[in-house]
Each structure stands twice: as structure tokens, then as C-alpha cells.
Amino acid sequence: MRQPVPDERARCFAGFAPESIAHYLEHVWLGTPNVVDEPALAVGPTARLTVIPVSELANHRTELLDAMVKLYGGERETHARALLSQWTKYYFGFTATAGFVAAALLRRPLVMSPDKTHVVLRDGLPIAAYFARDALQPVECEPARRYAPLVEHLNAVIETLCALTRIAPRVLWSNAGNLLDYLFEQCAPQFDLSDDMAWLFGPLGANGEANPLRLPVRQAKPRAASLPNPFSARRVCCVRYEIPGETQLCGRCPLLLTMSDAEIALQTASR
């Protein structure tokens, strides 16, 4: 595939974000970076580097799954749904965070169409992403317009990945929603984003249908006294536990709500 030509005026997205979340965007760009500015583009002696439009993800199913097998273990086909769920966490960390910063902090829509958004894969693992240099659009007051490109991007990617294995879309939407909830939380000390949060996580989407991002995190009473009460838990588990040997749950896993203090102690000890 013909590689995009580097753009001398490419800008790193981390420069738009507060320090608390800038690390998510150190490898996200407006414009195509060169190897000097983006070391992730350097080809190593053994790793396979691929730069593709996000619209071509479906053609790289084997690489995506193999990347997660290398990180988490398990078998490519047997544990495909759990492995792809983990893959989205890496991918959303780049793209969803960029869409969030544009819409919430810059108050500008970000063009995120899959054919114009590129992801850099190293042996199937997403390590960088970039958008068109002019992808940031003029300031918008209406949240529906600001967040539309992000929601549409998530929908397209989730539909693509769900077609590659048997996984419920709500699992992948939950991965995105959990990240977005965390980003709102990290930015709260500096920005009043309560209206944005209420809109993005409201019961209905811009099309009037049920919102797949509705309240991705809930406050619940845990069984174990050693957990905070209330405890912030995802509404939907990422199913990482389906991978053999993956006994360490994420910090917001809803399964933690059902665990005893002894089981929580084991989780804490293994971190």
C-alpha cells in the first residue's frame, strides 16, 4: 500500500491536552509525521510496521489478534472476542482521546472518518495514529455537532470489529465509554464539562435512538468492605478474564462488586 507522505507542518495532539491526559496523545498527530518527529514510525530489525486507513482494519484481523496473544496469551480463535476487546483499549486510547480533546476542550469537531484516519500498527499493535492536517473544524456550540465525528468513528470501528468475531457491540462501547468517563474525570479540576458529560452519556443519542454510551460507569455498593462505597464500576465487563491466566481485573471491573475481601486482597497483591 502507498504510504502517506510526511507533512512538515504535522502537529502532535498532546500539545492540545492538559498534562493529566497528554500521555495518551504523544503519538497522535494532525498531519502525517516524519520519522524524526515520530520515532514510532521507525522500522525495527524484526517488527513489521504497517500504516493503514482505519477503513482497512478488517483486512488485518490476524495481525490484530496475534498482537494481543503476544501480550495476553490465549489462542487466536478460541479467545478472539476477549483479545479484540483488549485491542480496542489501545486503539481508543489514541483516537477516542483525540476526539474527546477536540470536542470537549477545544470545542471543535475533529474529522475522524475511517478513510481519512490512519493507524500505525507494529505487528498488529496500534502504536500511533494521525488525522488530516486540517481535520480540526471551526468551533461549535452544540455538543451534538462537536461529538458527532467521535461517535460516528466509534460506531464504524465497533461495527468492523464485531464483524470479525462473536462479541456484543456493548462490550466495545463500554471500553470506549469507560475511557471517556476517565477523561472527563481527569479534566474536571480544570474544566467545567458537566454539560458535555450529561449529553454524551445521556439516554438518547443525536439520532433519538438509545445511546450506546449511556452511563458507562455506575456507582454501586460492593460486597467487600475493603472497596470504596460507593464503588465506580463499569456497566459492562471487557471480558479479559476469558483469556487463560488473566486473573487480574481492571480497576473498575463490575466483577469486583461480587468479590469478598479475601478475593480483593488477592487482586491487590497481584497488581
User: Tens digit of pLDDT for each residue in 31-75?
Assistant: 999 888 888 887 666 778 899 999 999 999 999 999 999 999 999
Residue 2 covered by a domain: no
Residue 5 covered by a domain: no
**In this structure, are 170 and 230 located in the same domain?**
no
**In this structure, are 45 and 150 located in the same domain?**
yes
Select the more confidently predicted residue: 245 or 97: 97
pLDDT at 101: 98
Do the strands 49-53 and 118-122 form a parallel or antiparallel pair, or are they unpaired? antiparallel
Residue 50 covered by a domain: yes
Q: How do residues 190-215 score in pLDDT, each as one tens digit?
A: 999 999 999 999 998 878 889 999 99
- Phi, psi dihedral angles at 49 (to 5 degrees): -105, 130
Residue 4 covered by a domain: no
Q: How do residues 98-141 score in pLDDT, each as one tens digit?
A: 999 999 999 999 999 999 999 999 999 999 999 999 999 999 99
**In this structure, are 80 and 192 located in the same domain?**
yes
> Looking up cell 462488586, which residue turns up?
257
Residue among 21, 14, 157 at smallest CA distance from 88: 157
Percent of the chain scored above 90 by pLDDT? 83
**In this structure, are 59 and 163 located in the same domain?**
yes
- Phi, psi dihedral angles at 53 (to 5 degrees): -65, 145
Residue 170 covered by a domain: yes
The total number of structural domains in the chain stands at 2
**In this structure, are 207 and 234 located in the same domain?**
no
Confidence band for 3, pLDDT divided at 50, 70 and 90: low
Alpha-carbon gap, residue 185 to 196, rounded angstroms: 12
Q: Return the SS3 of 50.
A: strand
Q: Which residues contact 92 (CB under 8 A, 6 or more apart)?
A: 154, 175, 176, 179
Domain boundary (194, 215, 236) is at: 215
Residue 182 covered by a domain: yes
| Ordered strands of the 49-53 beta sheet | 11-12, 28-30, 125-131, 118-122, 49-53
pLDDT at 108: 98
Residue among 9, 14, 2 at smallest CA distance from 129: 14
Domain extent at residue 92: 11-215
**In this structure, are 137 and 257 located in the same domain?**
no
Percent of the chain scored above 70 by pLDDT? 96
Residue 6 covered by a domain: no
**In this structure, are 139 and 172 located in the same domain?**
yes
Residue 61 covered by a domain: yes
Domain boundary (198, 215, 232) is at: 215
**In this structure, are 190 and 259 located in the same domain?**
no
pLDDT at 2 over 70: no
**In this structure, are 223 and 199 located in the same domain?**
no
Q: For position 80, which CATH number holds?
A: 1.10.510.40
Alpha-carbon gap, residue 34 to 49, rounded angstroms: 14
pLDDT at 97 over 50: yes
Report the pLDDT averaged over residues 175-195. Answer: 97
pLDDT at 148 over 60: yes
**In this structure, are 156 and 246 located in the same domain?**
no
Number of H helices, E strands in the chain: 7, 7
pLDDT at 149 over 70: yes
**In this structure, are 264 and 224 located in the same domain?**
yes
- The model carries a pTM of 0.94
- Mean per-residue pLDDT of the chain: 93
**In this structure, are 42 and 117 located in the same domain?**
yes
Alpha-carbon gap, residue 239 to 255, rounded angstroms: 10
Confidence band for 1, pLDDT divided at 50, 70 and 90: very low
